[in-house]
Structure 1
Amino acid sequence: MVKPWDLPNPFVFDLAVDNADIDELGHVNHSVYVKWLEHCAWSHSLSLGITLADYRRLDRGMAVVRNEVDYLASAYEGERLLIATWIVSVQRITLVRHFQVIRAADMCVLLRAITTFACVELSTGKPRRMPEEFATSFGGVIVAEVSNT
């Protein structure tokens, strides 16, 4: 079965919706999706060889400065979800990721998001140029944006 990914070659993070993810309305709470996007981004960075130890050693980190999330459908306890991410831009200080969440059972797109990160100096919190190690690893997997219309 072909997955309805918006862009080619996604990094995919697989998870099952747990009871703790469900809110008073009986579906996954919107804030949980944001947590999942963060976990997906960290997993992708680790897969590229960038570890938390590297962040600390280089005194740099990638901080979210903008998050645009479109919630398209709900998820429920026990469902298996696939969260995909792509890096679409790497600049001197910023990095832009796209995300897409689909329900595995019916391939329904539940969410699309775009997150902009800025490289910051961990010790001061000030924006700083991205270390070459980050730029090389992240820049090596840039995917061009494709219109979704």
Structure 2
Amino acid sequence: MAMGWWANSQHCDKRLVQGNTIAAALTAVHFGLMGSPLAMSNQLVNVARFSLCQRYRHASIALLFAALAVIQGLLLANHWSEWMVVTAAVVSSFLLFFTHGFRLRLGLLLCAGLNITLSIHLLSWSGIIYQLVSGGMLIRSLVTPPPQPAIP
């Protein structure tokens, strides 16, 4: 949780993405232990999505990740809350490859709202707390300007 919270508090897009890459890997383990193969595989795809989005800005890669999310849903989703996670994955596929700054954070806030539904369904208090605090941090970063560099 700490890594994701650190990432979501960053004003720098690069740090936001790098921190979320690590947080996604750790979250994959968490959801695997919670018994949600969809959420676990979704987080593993998130690791790849976060890793590649900073280096590549191709529509075909975003479409590939969106398609992977839908395929995961078709194969593994058993509850409407899991389809909310799939929706968040599709949205973030395009967000990460084509937006930055304010729009990226606004979209990630939407994704946090979609993702919390699965944590509620699984009664994962750590997931619920994570999404709520992350959402709060994203809101804070949306309403407060980034820090200005010190003038030497």
Q: TM-score of the superposition, structure 2-length normalised?
A: 0.31
Higher relative contact order (CA 8 A, sep 6+): 1
Name the larger-Rg structure.
Answer: 1
Q: TM-score of the superposition, structure 1-length normalised?
A: 0.31
- Structure in which a larger fraction of residues adopt helix: 2
